[in-house]
Amino acid sequence: MKAITTSFFFCLVLAACSLFDSGTPWEGGPYMLLWIDDPKAVTLSYDLGNGGSIPRVTEQVFAVGYDGRYVVAKQHPNRDKKITNYFIINAQKDSKMADNRDVVIGPLNEREFQEKVKELNLPPFTKALESLK
């Protein structure tokens, strides 16, 4: 009976461990593309350390760039690939305690984003998640 109970407990632990998965397909400074449980639910997040993070751009982020001054991101809101939103994060103002409203510009459409690219000399997109484009 003890062997059956131990085997059952071991299987239960194994099953519980496989229920949760996560990934960080890109990292730059304190920023990372992050998904938890669903590889299509990618957010651009600020790393707090010790496994914690703050989402700066909600899912579905599919492209990002970073130059130390700014982070740029492309997002399909609600996973709708017909719509692309653009976001800019002022990394020089960002911190663990910063409010998104103070550091995130967006959502912007492509024309608005291109104006900001020229105005702020924004970095190019250097990482794209092809499966989400």
Q: Give the pLDDT confidence of 90-131 residue by residue, as tens digits.
A: 999 999 999 999 999 999 999 999 999 999 999 999 999 988
Domain count across the chain = 1
Residue 4 within any structural domain of the chain: no
Residue type at position 44: L
Which residue segment(s) compose the domain that 68 sits in?
Answer: 21-132
- pLDDT of the residue at 23: 87
Please, which pLDDT band fits residue 19 given cuts at 50, 70 and 90? low
State pLDDT tens for residues 29-73. 999 999 999 989 999 999 999 989 999 999 999 999 999 999 999
* Residue 86, token pair as written in the block: 């653009």
Asked whether residue 102 is assigned to any structural domain, the reply reads yes
